Chain A
């Protein structure tokens, strides 16, 4: 009975590890999709009604609950506070989901937003879109490949452990 219980515990643990790895890849993929959506909404909002950056960011991120939206909410809070530094911008993008390079790129982008005229701003957005788009594609592929695989492996390893212990 104890062996069966141990097997069940190992199954749950192994499944959980698989699920966590899967969730990491899923969140990463979602983060970049949300970020590209944000860039889209900025392009539209800036060029047509020339809505302020704070309003655009709030209206985009308010109802969303993923990690990138949380970063954007923190960014909106920074915008409402007044002037802010590069370091403050770096602090809000710190997350395990993004690599150091991606964090730098994102904080650089957020810090540069709203500081130039419309044409330069749109050109800059395109530049960042070009930088983030391949990362997003890569993140999605990794999710499909490794995310699903790790979940399946976790379940399989759990089952194996269950069989061995039983």
Chain B
């Protein structure tokens, strides 16, 4: 998919200078050198003479045309949210000039930079979380951006699902399942149902009523409304596993809005670099102490 997404000369340059299989990020900024990351390590691909490739507006427009499939009408909500979901789970972060309508961000124009993030399935990367399966309860994976939360969540969902529990994944941005035409390309386990491109609020309500899940999994909890949705899930007797952006659990729970998560979350999993689990905090145990 990355090959289809990028202009040929860009893809050739990247594939000559980097291992495509290890690529996790490609950044395009107008009039700045092309930047790529292999598992979090950034570098600037250069030609044989050592010249770095300077990204043009045309390169960005090309990627946007492919990513939107020339159909902005179908993805304008995503664009207003600052991202685009592509096939194979590739997510493109978009920044440019905001266009407002009735006081709300309506869309983006004059896009000047793109952050293309390539999902990777790493089997076994969540084995540190397997002990949580015995007495599974509401779990939050906490880390700053780019630490591998989504990869860990995907693998943990697969493990939970293979253990026989019904898992519903609310895959708002198609990052977890990397589906193409509704069919997941990532292994999400035998007992997993995936709801794609639905916002969390509607996704939760619909799936709790109709899909009879044991666990609901979702990525990137953001803001009070989504926290309230999680509270609703707990009230209905369904467990959840989710990810949230924060430096660590202490910082997360200091926040006025996010401190509400402590009321119904049992396990807080903290990640270090490259998705390494550095701490699992069990709220019940802390209480016990």
Contacts and interface: CB of A to CB of B under 8 A. Distances in A.
| Genuine A/B complex | yes
Interface of A: 46, 50-54, 79, 82-84, 113-118, 121
Contacts of B76: 117-118
A82 B74 CA distance: 17
A84 B65 CA distance: 9
Interface residues of B, number: 16
B72 A52 contact: no
B62 A118 contact: no
Interface of B: 7, 58, 61-62, 65-66, 68-74, 76, 106-107
A50 B74 CA distance: 5
Contacts of B73: 46, 50, 114, 116-118, 121
Contacts of A116: 72-73
A52 B71 contact: yes
A88 to B, nearest CB: 12
A42 B76 CA distance: 17
Contacts of A46: 71, 73-74
Contacts of B62: 82-83
A54 B71 CA distance: 8
A60 to B, nearest CB: 15
Nearest to B107: A117
Across the A-B interface, the 5 shortest Cβ-Cβ residue pairs: A52-B69, A50-B74, A114-B70, A117-B76, A118-B73
Contacts of B70: 52-54, 79, 113-115
A163 B260 CA distance: 100
B71 A53 contact: yes
A62 to B, nearest CB: 17
Nearest to A54: B69
A7 B62 CA distance: 61
A121 B66 CA distance: 18
Contacts of A83: 58, 61-62, 65-66
